[in-house]
Amino acid sequence: MFAFVLSEVGLSFKRSAILVLLVTLPAIFFYPNCIYMATDFIHTRTSEFYSIDAQRNVNYVMEFIPWLKMMVDVVFITLSLLLSYETFVNILEIIRVKGHIFAEFIMLIFFSGISGVAVYLGRFVRFNSWDVVSPSNLRLIYSTLSNLKYNDYLLIGVFAAFHLAIIILLSIFKRQSN
């Protein structure tokens, strides 16, 4: 969501290249957090919502707090995915490639790739966005990425494909609504 706010500010600074750069680079830097939020569903435990007894009957938990927490998660994750699309479009406008289909596609592939890598580093290696500021952490990130296994590439690909699909789907939905 922070990336969206920065990209909106970047759009308003069209006359000053320095100000645009100062807000657009952090927007790009924080952009993968939009997709990362979708992985928060792993915190949902089915035992909070139902149990299965010895006769294999499903018994739903009637406590409202777990259900409320899940609904809040769904709202924020959905908002995050919607804002990832809007942020992506804003960045395309800021760097002046919006409307150039091939350039947009190249940027989509690039952002999908960095989102896939960032989600992998955040979810499995447990880095956060600020960790790349430290030179020692940059070396650790480089070392981690240099020693990826086959399954790691698949995980990165899954997150990149998820990002790609979300942006394409939301783009189609937005075009059809106009």
What's the confidence (pLDDT) of residue 107? 96
| pLDDT(7) > 90 | no
Phi, psi (degrees; rounded to nearest 5) at 167:
-65, -45
Closest CA to 132 of 8, 33, 12: 33
What's the confidence (pLDDT) of residue 116? 96
pTM: 0.84
Report helix, strand or coil for 159.
helix
The pLDDT > 70 percentage for the chain reads: 100
Q: Average per-residue pLDDT in the chain?
A: 89
Confidence of residue 172 (pLDDT cuts 50, 70, 90): very high
Report helix, strand or coil for 7.
helix
Give the pLDDT confidence of 90-129 residue by residue, as tens digits. Answer: 999 988 888 899 999 999 999 999 999 999 999 998 888 7
From CA 41, how far away is CA 96, in angstroms rounded? 35
Confidence of residue 89 (pLDDT cuts 50, 70, 90): very high
Confidence of residue 155 (pLDDT cuts 50, 70, 90): very high
Closest CA to 38 of 139, 95, 118: 118
| pLDDT(130) > 80 | no
Report helix, strand or coil for 69.
helix
Give the pLDDT confidence of 30-72 residue by residue, as tens digits. Answer: 888 888 988 888 888 888 888 899 999 999 989 999 899 999 9
